[in-house]
């Protein structure tokens, strides 16, 4: 993965607007924090292969970045994104890594379902 280039990511978001896509959204902090501090309140999210079709999308912030996708009935939103790539399957893979390089968030878009 490479550091996010806002212009290139925005171009890709614009290119995918209006298409039926699959989204993967995952957040984590428990695997890195809860074993060191039993009082730490761990949270996480895992959503894979949910179908979406967004009207418009935008990447904002100075970095780490935020991406918001306006759906017909609401919004999909992710923040803390630092890195990205488009893989050989044309899947847009965005991730947020903490200062130690550990994954904190993954936000991915694909025209085909992600592997299960």
- Domains in the chain: how many in total? 1
Q: How many helices (H) and strands (E) does the chain have?
A: 2, 9
pLDDT at 31 over 60: no
Is residue 43 a part of any domain in this protein? yes
Spatial distance between the Cα atoms of 112 and 41, rounded to a whole number of angstroms: 35
Is residue 116 a part of any domain in this protein? no
Q: How high is the pLDDT of residue 42?
A: 72
Is residue 90 a part of any domain in this protein? yes
Domain assignment of residue 22, given as a range: 2-110
Taking only the tens place, the pLDDT of each residue in 57-104 is 999 999 999 999 999 999 999 999 999 999 999 999 999 998 888 889
Question: CATH code at 81?
Answer: 2.70.180.10
Spatial distance between the Cα atoms of 72 and 7, rounded to a whole number of angstroms: 24
């Amino acid at each position: 993965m490479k550091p996010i280039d806002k212009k290139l990511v925005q171009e890709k978001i614009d290119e995918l607007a209006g298409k039926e896509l699959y989204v993967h959204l995952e957040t984590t902090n428990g695997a890195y924090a809860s074993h060191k501090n039993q009082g730490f309140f761990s949270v996480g999210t895992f959503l894979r292969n949910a179908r979406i079709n967004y009207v418009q999308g935008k990447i904002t912030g100075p970095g780490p970045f935020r991406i918001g996708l306006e759906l017909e009935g609401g919004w999909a939103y992710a923040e803390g994104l630092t890195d990205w790539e488009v893989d050989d399957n044309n899947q847009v893979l965005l991730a947020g890594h903490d200062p130690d390089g550990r994954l904190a968030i993954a936000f991915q878009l694909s025209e085909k379902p992600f592997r299960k």
